[in-house]
Amino acid sequence: MKDFEAFCSYVKQKCEELQSEKTQTTALRPPPIPYSYQTPNKLDIDLRLFNKDLINNCLPILSSILDRGSRGWYVQYRLKMMQDLQGQGLSNKEMSKKINEAITEEYLDRVFEAIKSNTELDNLQEGIGTLLVDQAKTVLTMKKAVKNVQDKMTKHKTELKTHLKTKYPIKSRIQPWINEQIRAFEVVKTYSNSYSRDVKFYTNERPRTFSLSQECYNPEYLDAEEELKLRVAELMKKPLQPCAPNKVCLGYSEQSLLHKDISSGGFEECPERLQHLCKTLKNKGIWDRCLITPGRKATDDELSLAHSPDFIRQLKKIETMEEDALIKYQSSFKSVYFCQDSFKAASWSVGTLLSVVDDVLTGQSQSGVALIRPPGHHAEANTTMGFCMFNNVGIAAKYAQQKHNVNRIVIIDWDIHHGNALQTLFYDDTSVLYISLHRFDKGSFYPYGGEGYHKCVGGNSAQGYNVNIAWNDEPKGDADYVAAFQNVILPLCYEFSPDLVLVAAGFDGAKGDNLGNYRLSPELFGHMTSMLKGLAHGKLILALEGGYNLDMTSESMAYCISTLLGDPLPSLSSMIPSQSAVTSICDTIDIQSEFWKSLQYRVDLPTEKQLEIIKEQKENSMREFEEQENEDKEEDKD
């Protein structure tokens, strides 16, 4: 009790100082609370080691004591003090000081009495011994573990520095470079990722922890290296792919401009889209660097690869209709307009794309681009939709399989809208992998409904061959699409190993397009094209789909073609995907990982905060490196 009385006296003293020396309140500090005690057997007890169980047991009792000491007396006591002091002629300031002093003293007396009369404290002390012993055991165990880890980390750092100085005698003299290597080592040692153990990867056989002092190459890795060398040797024995004489062929036909809106319905799909695009390519000098592939009209047999004969006959009727009859006739179709030349323009668009397919698959060109309209990825077997009359890319895929014996085809659809017709055409086909990135907004964006949902994975006989990356919530940007390519599209494509890649190249996701309202830069489309160039020995064909901002569509396609020609690309500004994009990507991976091994190796996408930290670390490293260089230059001058 003496210790506690001394403690209360200390509190009282400080309260008096607080009232009398207000100008020095910033210099005051909370009174030190004793934490070190001795048991009757002279064993030291450090209360800083109390665990949460002890704290949780103490808090209710202490709260009860303080509550008892303050409940029901303060207001009456203060009024009584004011009445007693009013007749003494004191100023308000002096009266307030005396009242506060008296209240503080009364409060401490009441708390002290509450502590002396509280039986719960006696009950509490019975369990303190056990809690302290348990806590001490935990602390000792953790102390040993921490010491062990610290020793290992120190040893590994020392060995790493020695290794770096031996292997990189020049670089190792640059302290910022050494610091960066050490930090990278620490990240590797502490980073934990989860992946499915049923997938066979070389990384599965690596131990979770390893010493940097071990041999650089373990025997099992040497065996794997020999196996890979044998495989490379076998591949080198095979004849090399002949080099195409042209890097890019451009399929274009003036007939595509004939499709016009005569009803003044305000359709965004118009001939000016193609005219402006061609003008841009010529002004940039891209047009003259490509092989211009003349278009042709697709035959009825070719159109029937994706459409019924009855549907083809219905569209043929428009060639002989008068204008008034045409306007009335088009109202029986979904979101499309007609003129007498519409069937001709649509047939030539399909045929022009097929000419590009011929040029690429016969080796005349490494890659190809079809500048065509109207678009096609919404056109179902028996109906038009969304400005589309014939399924251009769908027909091209079937044509490549039938005429050129192509076994496996990947279709990438990066138009802002889901390609419902492409999905339907190949939903039960394991020879075609269809991947669509599209604005979904939980089914409220065109073409509406649930066809673009990530759970639409293909028919019973082709599950996993239909892949939807369905964007929701806020408008998406470059980083979201790059993340989708790196985490879903490229792993799937390389595992599928296609013989041909077709792209439904819609640019209505570009910034400034009022139909898409997304924030994609023209440069992004060039980067997506670049990422696809490594597939199918470079046999990559782009077919124009949507895109209704004339400038953005033209710039975006120009970047795509420039990339195919081998021109360098500018860097993208920000690579931090939004949280909703990460959710959509993970949803797709979760459902598709059942069918694809490449998606079963899961690495968590970094959060925005983690990427900012990495960016800051790199900037700091560069700054340190530059400062070190400047210091070295100054020393050389001296």
What are the residue numbers of the active site? 378
For residue 572, what is the DSSP state?
A: P
Nearest to 362 by CA among 500, 531, 471, 567: 500
H or E segment to which residue 81 belongs? helix 74-85
Nearest to 136 by CA among 53, 59, 46: 46
| 499 contacts: CB under 8 Å, gap ≥ 6 | 406, 407, 408, 409, 536, 539
Nearest to 542 by CA among 331, 365, 370: 370
For 511, the token pair is 């910034």
Q: Is 225 within 8 Å of 326 (Cβ atoms)?
A: no
Q: Is 525 within 8 Å of 425 (Cβ atoms)?
A: no
CB atoms within 10 A of CB 137: 10
| 203 contacts: CB under 8 Å, gap ≥ 6 | none
> 62: burial class by Cβ within 10 Å (0-12, 13-18, 19+)?
middle
Maximal CA-CA distance, the chain: 115
Sheet holding 432-439, edge to edge: 291-294, 246-252, 365-371, 540-544, 500-505, 409-413, 432-439, 466-471
Give the Cα separation of 35 and 39 in Å (integer).
Answer: 13
Give the Cα separation of 340 and 321 in Å (integer).
Answer: 7
For residue 216, what is the DSSP state?
A: S
Alpha-carbon 247 to chain mean position: 33
For residue 405, what is the DSSP state?
A: -
HSE at residue 44, side-chain half, CA atoms within 13 A, is: 6
Alpha-carbon 166 to chain mean position: 39
Give the Cα separation of 398 and 132 in Å (integer).
Answer: 76
Buried b (16+ CB within 10 A) or exposed e, 261-276: bebeeeeebbeebbeb
